[in-house]
Structure 1
């Protein structure tokens, strides 16, 4: 009854069906990996908010090069670790990162190098401030930076990827991204390979700064794609079986012998 499946035509259809179903299953597996990866990141973000701060050196290695060089990036499992460190802010090399949005408003994130006692520095993201009147690119009015020793608590963040030109305007470094490899050559000391997103500071930070939120990755979207791809793969195989059965019934001369609903027939004239 199903010998026709061994013909070249049907073998070709079967091969295409299996290839399509396999591709869909693999796409589902890929989305499952992305779901797991994003879930792990979200768990790290949550853990960083709840954990007690540890010394910087427990989460981030010191740079070993000279001025203008950058140290190793934080290990993946150390990203978002809450750390504490003490140093002095370098107000001559503040970095303004433009085009950043907080609460649906575009402004600047302010990164200031915190110079440690060993002569190395860590960029500290002190928060978001709005631009000055005149447009989203107008340099903000900078609040006073604490002088003397400052103790910072915050979470380790990795450098942002992508090319980002660094320029100096009115004495301030500017960029669109927090790209540490491109910022390091502009600074007169070795720079750590991760920056710190400020949570708390002593003396207290100026209230004009708004905390920069860390968004969670949308892992549930990836899980939805997993289900979709696997369903599509199953439907492809089931669809082939349905078409093959229909063809087998046709070749066997099987017709639909179900009785008609005479009540649905029009009444004779």
Structure 2
């Protein structure tokens, strides 16, 4: 009854269906992996206030030379709570313009923290508004504390799409906090991610951390798996119809026969 499945046409259809289903399953598994990664990031964000901080060097690789940042951390390190001790270097302070907090536009102030071994980590000390409420007017930011200081914050991975750097208002000015781009402009080795302080100094506003949209990835995973099942069911449904004799040719013949019968029915004569 199902010997037709061994014909070249049906064998090709079976191979195509299985290949498509396997690809869909792999895509679903990849989306599940992304869901798990993003859920872990959200858990670290939520637990930051109650989780003890770990040393920065336990999370980030030490940079080797000036002008080149250390290795960028993976997503498994994003938003990990860390602590690091050093001295701020206000002469190489950075301002990231066009940053919004609570609907207002301002700047994030990033100051290098020099560690005792000569390396540095960029520390985002918080957000300040621009003087005129726009994206480029010079901000008024509290000066960096002097002397040795211990910073507690969360690891923030470098932002993508590096923007040009220029000197403005006595600081390095940029639109994006892209660590490799900034490291190339600094005279000391810089770690491959920056630290967003958990408790900013007076005069700064704490920068809110957006959660990852993990549920979207979870939904995509289920969709891909459903598509894989539907492809197999569609193949089985077509094979069953073929086995029962309901072939495409017979369906076309039935439609043609119905059309002929309709054409043979006399139409009602309209009154004069």
TM-score by length of 1: 0.79
CA deviation map 1:197-224 (0-9, x unaligned): 10136xxx123x2212222211111111
Between the aligned partners of 1:228 and 1:144, the Cα distance in structure 2 is 52
Match of 2:227 in 1: 232
Q: Judging changes above 3 Å, is the alpha-carbon distance between structure 1 residues 249 and 42 closer, same or farther for their aligned structure 2 residues?
A: same
Partner of 2:38: 38
Q: CA deviation at 1:18?
A: 2.1
2:136 matched to which residue of 1? 137
Q: Which moved more, 1:164-173 or 1:74-83?
A: 74-83
* 2:160 counterpart residue number: 161
Q: Distance in 2 between matches of 1:62 and 1:7?
A: 62
Q: Is the 8 A contact 2:85 2:148 kept in 1?
A: yes
Asked whether the 8 Å contact 1:166–1:174 carries over to 2, the reply is: yes
Q: Give the conservation status (yes or no) of the 8 Å contact 1:4–1:10.
A: yes
SS state at 1:228 partner: helix
Residue 98 of structure 2 aligns to a residue in which SS?
strand
Q: Is the counterpart of residue 51 in structure 1 residue 47 in structure 2? A: no
Which residue pairs with 1:261 in the alignment?
A: none
* Contact kept in structure 2, 1:42 and 1:217, CA below 8 Å: yes
Structure 2 unaligned regions, length at least 5: 251-272
User: Hey, what's the Cα distance between the residues in 2 that align with 1:218 and 1:142?
Assistant: 33
Count matched residues. Answer: 248
| SS state at 2:184 partner | helix
What's the TM-score, normalizing by structure 2? 0.78
Which is worse superposed, 110-119 or 171-180? 110-119
1:216 aligns with 2:211: yes
Alignment of 1:13-92 (within 5 A): 13-65=13-65, 67-74=66-73, 77-92=76-91
Q: Which runs of 5+ in 1 are unaligned?
A: 254-269
Which residue in the other structure is 1:264 paired with?
Answer: none
Q: CA deviation at 1:124?
A: 0.9
Going from structure 1 to structure 2, the CA distance change for 1:147 and 1:24 (only over 3 Å counts) comes to same
- Greater displacement, 238-247 / 98-107: 98-107
Give the Cα separation in 2 of the matches to 1:28 and 1:236: 14
Equivalent position of 2:180 in the other structure: 181
Quote the offset at 1:172 in angstroms: 1.5
Partner residue in 2 for 1:267: none
